[in-house]
Amino acid sequence: MNAATSSDAAPAAAWRAEVDASCAYPVVAFFVSAVFWLLFGTVLALLASIKMHTPGFLSGAEWLTFGRVRPVHLNTMIYGWGSMAGVGTLLWLQARLSRVRLPLQLPLVVGCALWDLGVAGGSIAILTGHGTSVEWLEFPYGWSFLFAGIFVVVMAASLMMFSARRVGHVYVSQWYLFGAVLWFPFLYVMANALIHGALARGVVQAATNWWFAHNVLGLWFTPIGLATVYYLLPKVLGRPIHSYYLSLLGFWTLALFYNWAGTHHLVGGPLPAWLITVGIVGSVMMFIPVTTVAVNHHMTMKGHFALLKVSPTLRFIVLGAMSYTVVSFQGSLQSLRTVNEVTHFTHYTIAHAHLGVYGFFTMVMFGAIYYIAPRLTGREWSSPRLIKIHFWGTALGMAVYWIGLTWGGILQGLAMDNPDVAFLDVVRHTMPYLWSRTFAGVLMAVGHVAFAILVWRMFTLKGRRLPEPASAPVVAMAGGAQ
Amino acid sequence: MNRAVFLYVGVLLTVLLSFTGLVSIPEKQLGGLQPLVDADGTQYPVPPTGMVAEGRGVYIADGCIYCHSQQVRPEGFGDDIERGWGTRRTVARDHIYDSPPLLGTMRTGPDLANIAVRQPSENWHLLHLYNPRITSPGSNMPAFPFLFRKVPVEVQVPHDALSFPPGWEVPGYSVVPSRRAKALVAYLKSLDHSHPVPEVPQ
């Protein structure tokens, strides 16, 4: 604890407890579902990874073929784990920051259950051969109506809280949450209509596809992730964010530029050159928001790195924030034509995507759940050892994953761009790196199982009662965020 | 005008802007592309129909796109053309009947935009799909044995049974491609972007 603990701690603790109580059912529902899909997606990830180096593994059944398991992995991680953890966090953050009780609790719980059904149904559809082969939109068209419908409820709840907010000042996290909750439904509905509804033709569908898919990261996961970091970092440290103006600059430049980056997935493809160039420019301009956010976070953390040892929340979100910086710079660079010429179509891209969705977003969501869940149940996390296993399993796993496939991808790209290397030799060169991914996947899986056990015990109230429901060991009260 | 309104408007404008730039304008520019009609009346490209369309469905259902692209990069950018994956770069017109376009983003396997030109043998494709290790030692492409039926040889040897190279026969059985396997091969044998187009000067 430090001096920042304010004198009006008692009433503040009271309204926080009230807000937290109003969130309990919906947010727990979203978190539990998210962790279920995390485990499910992990199993599919391992299957897909093993199949890449050992193609005979479980190859007799059509529903388990690589080309089905892989999209189910992606979609359960994106729409199951990531989005559901994101929505749970978003709802809680918005309630806390607006200082109002969470509205629409029953519709949200029902929505969560339907969302689960949607992810399950969509996954079964892909496994039974009804996937669409449109990356990030593999669930058949029909399912998109369900998700869009549920999203209306999430959007409504979030906007209701925002407009009923009892604080005049709009905190930086709220801008991001506000953006996320308006951007994603628009992206999702438009992309489905244009591609699955065939309102666009031919390669324009591909442009739409990457406008969408890149923005799932850029305008959905990234704003939720950054909102979380902007909220939790000052909370855990007990000091305000370094600079309000940097936050402002970071938000609006992200809103302006991230949007445009998607077509860098089509460099060299059959699209007008200007369209690709725009994507590259958008990607390079991302240097601005990323640098501002990195500087802002670093200056806030400065002098407090020792706290990483005691706070699991801090450890996960700081690792996540650092990954955000690295993955974004990497993304800007790899959109450049000379780099892209080598890395496009290789495992390098896969490593990059995982650094974003996993190294950044997933890590931040882990941190968020570590922070939020005790406040919903009034219990402590039951085992520091399991937390340690979770952290090191996922952190090392991610490191091995990224290093292996980044390096392997570069070698693969260089070999592929050299016509003297036979294609089967390119395949042979990548083998060790494909194995390294499976090894990384096992490490991550161990971490996920440890986390799932912790979450299970948390929500079945197995942990010790917290002495004071609204505060945890390394949490101070004030510090910019409400 | 308070800050919330500013947020609303700003947030919506940014995404509308990129939608217009990356989706609407390209649709204006490319949405009206027409096929080419040669002097002899043949059209390029043609919409997939019959077995080809069915095979395209198998390609989608079994996720070939996660390892194969269908786009040749321009000369001087990568070595797609030197590798023999095509004689010219792929253009938007090649894909006007492709919904969704199966351009792909991954090349664990070779580009397939012109596989019909490169590999015309039906038996090669069937053997390769049945087990890629038969034709391509060291390949990590999955086998698709479920697209085939095994028939005991005592019953009959069907006319369309696969002819295996020595050592790969399945003792006691002949292996027969299902309709879906044949459709998939029909689709692969339709993938040919070699027709000249005005977009790429020869």
- Residue-wise pLDDT tens digits, A325-339: 999 999 889 889 999
Q: Give CA–CA dist B114/B97, Å, rounded.
A: 16
Is A64 touching B (CB cutoff 8 A)?
Answer: no
Nearest CB to B101: which of A132, A206, A255?
A206
* The domain boundary residue, chosen from A169, A197, A214: A169
pLDDT score of B4 more than 80 = no
pLDDT of residue A4: 38
* The domain boundary residue, chosen from A149, A169, A189: A169
Q: What is the ipTM of this complex?
A: 0.94
pLDDT score of B7 more than 90 = no
Q: Mutate which of B3, B5, B22, B98 to disrupt the A interface (most A C-beta within 10 Å)? A: B22
Q: Which of A133, A40, A48, A74 is nearest to A358 (CA)?
A: A74
DSSP 3-state of A227: helix
Using only the alpha carbons of chain B, give its radius of gyration.
22
Q: What is the distance in angstroms between the Cα of A130 and the nearest Cα belonging to chain B? A: 6
pLDDT of residue B2: 63
How many structural domains are present in chain A? 2
Q: Is B195 domain-assigned?
A: no
Q: Is A158 domain-assigned?
A: yes
Q: Give CA–CA dist A59/B146, Å, rounded.
A: 9
At a CB cut-off of 8 Å and minimum separation 6, what does B49 contact? none
Residue A109 near residue A25, CB atoms below 8 Å: yes
Is the Cβ pair B23, A194 closer than 8 Å? yes
Q: Is A481 domain-assigned?
A: yes
Q: Give CA–CA dist A172/A176, Å, rounded.
A: 7
The proportion of chain B whose per-residue pLDDT surpasses 70, expressed as a percent, equals 99
pLDDT of residue A426: 96
Of the CA atoms within 13 Å of residue A329, those in its CB half-sphere come to 9
Mean pLDDT to the nearest integer, B67-91? 95
Q: Is A235 domain-assigned?
A: no
Interface contacts A/B by beta carbons within 8 Å: 222
Q: Searching chain B, which residue's CA lies closest to the CA of residue A179?
A: B11
Q: Which two tokens stand for residue A155?
A: 């959007």
Q: Is B24 domain-assigned?
A: no
Q: What is the dihedral of CA A183, B19, A284, A71, to 10 degrees?
A: 70
Domain with residue A414: its CATH number is: 1.20.210.10
Domain with residue B55: its CATH number is: 1.10.760.10
Per CB-CB distance under 8 Å, the chain A contacts of B83 are: 419, 423
Per the structure, the complete domain to which residue A349 belongs is given by: 309-482
At a CB cut-off of 8 Å and minimum separation 6, what does A378 contact? A465, A466, A469
Q: Searching chain B, which residue's CA lies closest to the CA of residue A163?
A: B4
Write out the H or E segment, with its range, that includes residue A9.
helix A9-53
Q: Which two tokens stand for residue B179?
A: 């309709």
Q: Is A144 domain-assigned?
A: yes
Interfacial A residues in 322-341 facing B (CB < 8 Å): 337, 341
Of the CA atoms within 13 Å of residue A66, those in its CB half-sphere come to 21
Is the Cβ pair A182, B12 closer than 8 Å? yes
Per CB-CB distance under 8 Å, the chain B contacts of A417 are: 78-79
Q: Give CA–CA dist A314/A237, Å, rounded.
A: 9
Q: In b/e form, how buried is each residue of A410-444, taking b as 16+ CB within 10 angstroms? A: bbbbbbbbeeebebeebbbbbeebbbbbbebbbbb
Q: Is B33 domain-assigned?
A: no
Q: Which of A472, A2, A4 is nearest to A240 (CA)?
A: A4
Q: What is the distance in angstroms between the Cα of A335 and the nearest Cα belonging to chain B? A: 14
Q: Give CA–CA dist A333/A262, Å, rounded.
A: 14
pLDDT of residue A123: 97
Q: Mutate which of B69, B105, B112, B178 to disrupt the A interface (most A C-beta within 10 Å)? A: B105
Is the Cβ pair B26, A67 closer than 8 Å? no
How many structural domains are present in chain B? 1
Is A52 touching B (CB cutoff 8 A)?
Answer: yes
Which ranges of chain A have pLDDT less than 70?
1-10, 468-482
Q: Which two tokens stand for residue B114?
A: 């012109």
pLDDT of residue A107: 96
Report DSSP state, residue B171: T
Q: Is A256 domain-assigned?
A: no
Write out the H or E segment, with its range, that includes residue A119.
helix A105-125
Q: Is A157 domain-assigned?
A: yes
Residue B158 near residue B174, CB atoms below 8 Å: yes
Per CB-CB distance under 8 Å, the chain B contacts of A279 are: 22
Q: What is the 3-state secondary structure (H, E, C) of A378-391?
A: CECCCCHHHHHHHH
Q: What is the distance in angstroms between the Cα of A161 and the nearest Cα belonging to chain B? A: 13
pTM of the model: 0.94
Is the Cβ pair A346, B107 closer than 8 Å? yes
Of the CA atoms within 13 Å of residue A104, those in its CB half-sphere come to 20
Q: Mutate which of A50, A58, A59, A66 to disrupt the B interface (most B C-beta within 10 Å)? A: A66
Q: Is B4 domain-assigned?
A: no
Sign for the pseudo-dihedral over CA of B85, B91, B92, B94: negative
Q: Tell me the one-letter amino acid at A174.
A: Q
Q: Is A260 domain-assigned?
A: no
Q: Mutate which of B54, B140, B178 to disrupt the A interface (most A C-beta within 10 Å)? A: B140
The pLDDT-based confidence of B1 (bands split at 50, 70, 90) is very low
Is A134 touching B (CB cutoff 8 A)?
Answer: yes
Write out the H or E segment, with its range, that includes residue A288.
helix A287-301
Distances (CA, A) of A171 to A174, A181, A231, A325, A482: 5, 16, 9, 22, 8
Per the structure, the complete domain to which residue B93 belongs is given by: 44-188
Cite the DSSP H helix spans in A54-104: 66-75, 83-98
Q: Is A414 domain-assigned?
A: yes
* The domain boundary residue, chosen from A169, A200, A220: A169
Give the tens place of pLDDT for each residue, B128-138: 999 999 999 99
Is A151 touching B (CB cutoff 8 A)?
Answer: no
pLDDT of residue A176: 93
B44 bridge partner residues: B36
Write out the H or E segment, with its range, that includes residue B176.
strand B173-177
Per CB-CB distance under 8 Å, the chain B contacts of A350 are: 106
Write out the H or E segment, with its range, that includes residue B148.
strand B148-152
DSSP 3-state of B106: strand
Q: Give CA–CA dist B37/A200, Å, rounded.
A: 23
Q: Give CA–CA dist B174/B26, Å, rounded.
A: 51
Per CB-CB distance under 8 Å, the chain A contacts of B103 are: 203, 206, 266, 269-270
